[in-house]
């Protein structure tokens, strides 16, 4: 397994929609394992393939992240291939949402309370499930990545502009 490089805003490829996976072969399965290891290494609860520069509709998440008695030993990677949200219910504010690709910024984001997701699992079997609470946020956040949307794109223009200016200033200092 390998720790992969996570792309950071303003990387242009993060705003590109991803393509469906046609074949789930050993290469895709290894990519999923590497994505899981990368996600845990960077203390994330979800990671989408575009965040590591792969323009494919694949995401991984920690299926125990929503457990109120979460312990690091219970971490478990779940992969979804070609996921899509097929139904949404209610709305609420996801408080203090962050992203491995959006450095040093957290914000409140309007999300759906519950979503129904359909996808393929790592074995290529069709699946459909309802997600609410933390899992609903993870699904919406990661599927947004697959559609070329960052959580900052869901903020007010003022908040988004403030983050962009701050980030570009940080990047200039690093050069």
Question: Catalytic residue positions?
Answer: 142
Q: Are 11 and 101 in contact (CB under 8 A)?
A: yes
- Which of 59, 46, 44, 54 is closest to 120 using CA atoms? 59
Tally of CA atoms within 13 A in the half-sphere of 159 that contains its CB: 11
Contacts of 153 (CB under 8 A, 6+ apart): 144, 160
Alpha-carbon distance of 67 to 163, in angstroms, equals 31
Residue 25: how many other CB atoms lie within 10 Å: 10
Instruction: Note whether 96 and 74 are within 8 A (CB).
Output: no
Helices (H) and strands (E) in the chain, counts: 3, 7
């Amino acid at each position: 397994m390998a720790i992969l490089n996570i792309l950071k805003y303003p990387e242009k490829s993060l705003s590109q929609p991803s393509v469906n996976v046609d074949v789930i072969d050993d290469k895709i399965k290894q990519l999923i394992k590497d994505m899981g290891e990368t996600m845990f290494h960077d203390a994330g609860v979800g990671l989408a393939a575009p965040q590591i520069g792969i323009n494919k509709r694949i995401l991984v998440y920690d299926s125990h992240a929503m457990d109120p008695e979460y312990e690091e030993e219970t971490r478990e990677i779940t992969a979804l291939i070609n996921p899509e949200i097929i139904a949404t219910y209610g709305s609420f504010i996801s408080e203090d949402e962050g992203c491995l690709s959006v450095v040093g910024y957290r914000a409140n984001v309007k999300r759906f309370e519950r979503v129904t997701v359909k996808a393929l699992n790592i074995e290529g079997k069709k699946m459909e499930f309802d997600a609410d609470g933390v899992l609903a946020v993870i699904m919406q956040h990661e599927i947004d990545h697959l559609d070329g949307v960052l959580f900052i794109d869901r903020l007010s223009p003022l908040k988004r502009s403030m983050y962009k200016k701050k980030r570009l200033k940080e990047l200039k200092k690093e050069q």
